[in-house]
Amino acid sequence: QKEVEQDPGPLSVPEGAIVSLNCTYSNSAFQYFMWYRQYSRKGPELLMYTYSSGNKEDGRFTAQVDKSSKYISLFIRDSQPSDSATYLCAMSTRTSYGKLTFGQGTILTVHP
């Protein structure tokens, strides 16, 4: 079993839709949770960074962490064609010296 599981999709939605992306994990020591966006032939771009449980909002993006269920989510409101990319969840422990463990990535397409 992988430490971090992420549905690879692909996910296709119409412009303006609310998108929900999810990851589950098995390592209860994970305390730092991130979402990255990766366009084709580019490196991952940091979207959201949260510590422990709770919600964090930044513009059209909301990240949720539920440590009791070992489940994290990223919501994208009013999705745009420019949001079409691969979304990666990543996690690390307090003592891992920054080692990130990634999910497989979800391919998202937002069509006009």
Partner 1 sequence: DAGVTQSPTHLIKTRGQQVTLRCSPISGHKSVSWYQQVLGQGPQFIFQYYEKEERGRGNFPDRFSARQFPNYSSELNVNALLLGDSALYLCASSLGAGRAIGNQPQHFGDGTRLSIL
- Cα separation, 74 vs 90, whole angstroms: 12
How many residues sit close enough to partner 1 to count as binding (CB under 8 A)?
29
76 lines the binding site for partner 1 (CB under 8 A): no
- Cα separation, 70 vs 34, whole angstroms: 14
**Contact string (CB under 8 A) for partner 1, positions 30-69, x = contact:** --x-x-x----xxxxxx--x-x------------------
Find the shortest distance in angstroms from Cβ 105 to partner 1: 5
Given a contact cutoff of 8 angstroms between Cβ atoms, the answer to whether 63 and 35 are in contact is yes
- Cα separation, 48 vs 77, whole angstroms: 14
Binding site for partner 1 (CB under 8 A): 4, 6, 8, 32, 34, 36, 41-46, 49, 51, 88, 90, 92, 94-105
